[in-house]
Chain A
Amino acid sequence: MKGKTLLVLGAKSDIGIALAYKFAKEGCNIQLAARNSETLKDDCSDIKIRYNVDATFHEFDALDINSHESFVSSLPKLPSIVISSIGILGNQKENEKDIHKAIEIIRTNFEGIVSVFSYLANDFQSRGSGTIIGISSVAGNRGRGSNYIYGSAKAGFSTFLSGLRNRLYPYGVDVITVKPGFVRTKMTSHINLPKLLTTNPNKVAKSIYLAYKYRKNIIYVKSIWKYIMKFIQLIPESIFKRMKL
Chain B
Amino acid sequence: MSLGKNKMKNLEIISGWGLYPRIQANIIKPKTIKELRDAILSNSFIARGNGRSYGDSAINQFNTIEMTEFNRFLHFNEKEGLVIAQAGILLKDIIETFLPKGWFPPVTPGTKYVTLGGMVAANVHGKNHYKSGTFSKYIKWIEIIDHNGEIIKCSRKKNSELFLWTIGGMGLTGIILNVAFYLKRIKTAWINQSKLVSKNINQTFEFFESNIDSSYSVAWIDCYAKGLNIGRSVLMLGEHAELDDINSYKKLSPFKTFKKRKLSIPFFFPSFVLSNFSVKIFNSLNFIVSKISRRKAIVDWDTFFYPLDKILNWNKIYGSKGFAQFQCVIPLSVSKKAITEMLNLISNSKSSSFLAVLKRFGQDESHFSFPMEGYSLSLDFPINKENLLLINSLDEITIKYDGRFYLVKDSRMKKKTFESSDLRIKNFKAFREDNLSKKFRSCQTDRLGL
Contacts and interface: CB of A to CB of B under 8 A. Distances in A.
A49 B73 CA distance: 7
A43 B72 CA distance: 7
Contacts of B32: 39
Interface string B16-33: 000000000000000010
B75 interface: yes
A50 B74 contact: no
A49 B84 CA distance: 11
Nearest to A46: B72
B97 interface: yes
> Which of B32, B72, B74, B86 counts the most A-chain CB atoms under 10 A from its CB?
B72
Contacts, number: 19
Contacts of B406: none
Nearest to B89: A46
A49 B74 CA distance: 8
Interface size class of B (residues with CB under 8 A): under 10
Nearest to B93: A50
Nearest to A43: B72
A43 B73 CA distance: 8
A42 interface: yes
B428 interface: no
B76 interface: yes
For chain A, which range describes its interface: under 10, 10 to 19, 20 to 34, or 35 or more residues? under 10
A49 B76 CA distance: 7
Contacts of B86: 42
Interface in B48-98: 72-76, 86, 93, 97
A39 B31 CA distance: 12
A45 interface: yes
Interface in A29-77: 39, 42-43, 45-46, 49-50
Nearest to A41: B74
Contacts of B97: 49-50
B233 to A, nearest CB: 40
Contacts of A46: 72-74
Contacts of B72: 42-43, 45-46
A193 B32 CA distance: 25
Contacts of B93: 50
Nearest to B100: A52
A36 to B, nearest CB: 12
A43 B74 CA distance: 8
A14 to B, nearest CB: 10
A77 B291 CA distance: 62
Nearest to B101: A52
B380 to A, nearest CB: 34
Contacts of A42: 72, 74, 86
A43 B71 CA distance: 10
Contacts of B76: 49
Interface in A145-172: none
Contacts of A39: 32
Nearest to B86: A42
Interface in B117-153: none
A29 to B, nearest CB: 17
A131 to B, nearest CB: 27
A221 to B, nearest CB: 23
A4 to B, nearest CB: 21
A45 B97 CA distance: 13
Interface in B304-326: none
6 contacts: A42-B74, A42-B86, A45-B72, A45-B74, A46-B73, A50-B73
Of all A-B residue pairs in the complex, the 4 with the closest CB atoms, nearest first, are A46-B72, A49-B73, A42-B72, A46-B73
Given A42-B74, A46-B72, A50-B73, 16 more contacts: A39-B32, A42-B72, A42-B86, A43-B72, A45-B72, A45-B73, A45-B74, A45-B75, A46-B73, A46-B74, A49-B73, A49-B75, A49-B76, A49-B97, A50-B93, A50-B97
